Amino acid sequence: MRHPSSLKQEFLKKWIMGLQRCGFSSKKSMSVMERKKAIKLSADLAMASTRNGTTCWSRALIANASRNHENKILAEQILGPESQSLKKASSTMPPVICSRRIRSKKILKRSCSSHVRRVRKFALSQKVLSANSVAKRLVRKRTNILKSLVPGGEYMDDISLIEETLDYIAYLRAQVDVMRCVASATEVVDRNSD
């Protein structure tokens, strides 16, 4: 994992470059919704390109931004020259291949499931079974919620989901810190100009 300050500096550099490519540096008149869309898209793409498309969530952010034709053009403007290499990384690696553990985990689960069922029938009482099933349902429900929150999460197995979520949270935290600094600096400039 990279040092947070270097991560924030690289994100800020790419985010500002993305905003400039969206037209924020010129005095174009943009609606509030256009500004919101450009800020969100440039922040997401800056975060993904800072990660160099090496994680499932960063490739998913790039792929999601490139789905819509209008966003695709904006994404190419924001990513600039590196857009081709990042888009290739997101298109050549299908999200299902994000984790090689999926296939082996399914095989292991199938081979052990019949043995596990027999052991559970004899070893566990009905109360423990119902408690286990309730706990498993809760874990499954929370895992599905997490999969919906992390970009590309629906294609990950549980272990990869946790690893990707931790990485994604670190990058989101850096993004929020940078945005807070920019917002507070803007307030200071506005107060001094009055």
pLDDT of residue 67: 84
From the centroid of its chain, how far is CA 118?
A: 40
Cβ burial, residue 53 (10 Å; 0-12/13-18/19+):
buried
Mean pLDDT in consecutive groups of 10 residues from the start of the chain, 194 residues: 80 87 70 85 89 88 83 75 60 48 51 56 60 86 94 92 94 93 88 80
Q: What is the per-residue pLDDT for 116?
A: 55
CB-count exposure of residue 62 (10 Å: 0-12, 13-18, 19+): buried
DSSP state of 95: G
Q: pTM for the whole thing?
A: 0.70
pLDDT of residue 175: 93
Amino acid at 86: L
Specify the pLDDT at position 135.
Answer: 87
Looking at residue 73, what is its pLDDT?
77
Cβ 61 vs Cβ 151: under 8 Å: yes
Rounded Cα gap, residues 40 and 19, in angstroms = 10
